[in-house]
Amino acid sequence: MKKDNIQFIKNRFSIIGNNEILNNLIDIAIKIAYTDVSVLISGESGTGKEVFAKIIHQLSNRKHNSFMAINCGAIPEGTIDSELFGHVKGSFTSATEDRKGYFETVNNGTIFLDEIGEMPLSTQARLLRILELGEYMRVGSSKIDKLDIRIIAATNINIDSALKNGKMRNDLYYRLSTIKINIPSLRERKEDIKIIFYYYLKYFSDKYKTQYPSVDEKALNLIENYHWPGNIRQLKNIAEQIIVLENKEFLDLITLKKYIPTNIETFNNKLSIKNNYNNSITEKEFLYKILIDMKKEVNDLKRIVSTIIKSSNLSDKSHLLKNILLKKNNEKKLKIPIEDKNHILINDDYNHVEDTLSLKDQENQLIKKILKKNHGKRKNTASDLGISERTLYRKIKNLKIH
C-alpha cells in the first residue's frame, strides 16, 4: 500500500525517478500532510522544493483553501513587511490606502516561504509571532489580528552557516523545523538522470509537435556524469532547448555539448561542489574563490621573478624575465609593470606585481556570461551561480550590467 501511495503522488505531481531517498521523503510528506506542523524544506535550487510544499497542502485538510508560494529573496527588504503582513493608510509615503498582506490573503490556507534565509531579521521576528501565537500586525498599525495558516518554509542555503553568521534567528529556525525535509540534488540521484532527461525530451517533443530524438551512448554518458548545478530545472531547460532548436532524429555528443555549459562545470568543480547539500556554495564562498584564484596567478609570477633574481647575473636575465611576464600577461590578462630598459620594476617584496583583473571585473564577466547563457533569465542565472535572486538583482545594479 505504501508503494502504491508513493507512486500515486509521483504520477499526480509529475515526480520522475525511483531514488530511495526521494521515495522516503514523499512518504514523510504524506504522513505529515494531515497535521499542521511547520515544515522546513532544504535543498539546492531546482530540486523541487515547491513541489513538496504543494504535496503537503493538497493532501491536508486545507486543500480547498488557498496555497501561495512567496520567494522571500525576490522581495526588496524595504517592502517585504508590507507585502507579507499588509499596511494601513499613511504608514509610509506611498501608502494611500489600507492593503492586505499575503498572510491575510491566504488565511486558512497554506503559505510557502521560499528562500527563507534571505528574509530580513526584523521580518523573521514578525513571522515568529505568527508561528507561536497566530498573531500579526499590519505595518503602521497597533491592532493585533489573528491568523489560522500553515507555514511551509524552504531554503537553498547552508542553515548552519546562516545561523552562525546571524542571518537567521535560532528561535525561528527551531520553530520552523518541526519536520525537516532535505531534498537530494540531481547528482545524488544519478540513477534518475537518464529517466528524467528522456521524460522531458518526450514531453517537449509532444508539446511542440517535433521529432522525439534517440540519444547515443556517449551523449547519455555526459548527461549522467554532468554535475547539474541547476538540478532538475536546468535539465528540463536543456531538454526544451534541444527539442526547439535541433529538431533531430538523433542526439549525439557533439550536439549535446552545445547545450552543456562546460565553462560553468569547470567553475563549479573548482568550488568543490560535492554530493552533499551542506557543501553548496554561498555568496561569500563564491567571491572568496575568485579572490583565491587571482592570488594564485600573482604567486606564480612571484615565483618566476624570485628564481631569476636569485641568479648570478640579473642584468643578463632581465630580457628573459620581461618575455616571460609578457607571456603570462597575454595568457592571464594580468598587467605587469615592466620598463623597456634593462631594469625590472620590482622590489624585494614584489609589491609592484599587480593584478588589474580585479575581483569585481571577474565577477562582472561571470555574471554577464551566465546571463547570456540563460538568455537574460535572472532566476535561472541566480540558480546557476548558487546565489539568491535578490543578491543577483543587487549585483546587476551595482555592476551596471545591462
Range in 33-37, 194-198, 376-380 the model is least confident about: 376-380
For 133, what's the count of Cα atoms within 13 Å in the CB-facing half-sphere? 11
Please state, in angstroms and rounded to a whole number, the distance separating the CA atoms of residues 197 and 203. Answer: 10
pLDDT at 297: 60
Please state, in angstroms and rounded to a whole number, the distance separating the CA atoms of residues 51 and 265. Answer: 26
Please state, in angstroms and rounded to a whole number, the distance separating the CA atoms of residues 139 and 85. Answer: 7
Q: In this structure, how many other beta carbons lie within 10 angstroms of the beta carbon of residue 65?
A: 16
CA distances, 360 to each of 159, 229, 267 (Å):
27, 23, 16
CB 99, CB 87: distance < 8 Å = yes
What three-state secondary structure class fits 150? strand
| Structural domains of the chain ordered from first start | 2-184 (3.40.50.300), 188-269 (1.10.8.60)
- Tens digit of each residue's pLDDT (9 = 90 or more) over 311-324: 545 455 555 555 55
DSSP notation for 214-270? EE-HHHHHHHHHS--TTHHHHHHHHHHHHHHHT--SEE-HHHHHTTS-HHHHHHHHH
Q: In this structure, how many other beta carbons lie within 10 angstroms of the beta carbon of residue 262?
A: 10
Q: In this structure, how many other beta carbons lie within 10 angstroms of the beta carbon of residue 297?
A: 17
pLDDT at 27: 95
Q: Once rounded to an integer, what is the mean pLDDT over residues 65-77? A: 94
- Tens digit of each residue's pLDDT (9 = 90 or more) over 226-242: 999 999 999 999 999 99
- pTM assigned to the model: 0.66
- Tens digit of each residue's pLDDT (9 = 90 or more) over 381-396: 887 777 777 788 878 8
Please state, in angstroms and rounded to a whole number, the distance separating the CA atoms of residues 335 and 356. Answer: 6
Q: Is the pLDDT of residue 86 over 50?
A: yes
- C-alpha cell recorded at residue 239: 531538454
- Tens digit of each residue's pLDDT (9 = 90 or more) over 29-48: 999 999 999 999 999 999 99
For the ranges 74-78, 104-108, 281-285, the one whose mean pLDDT is highest: 104-108
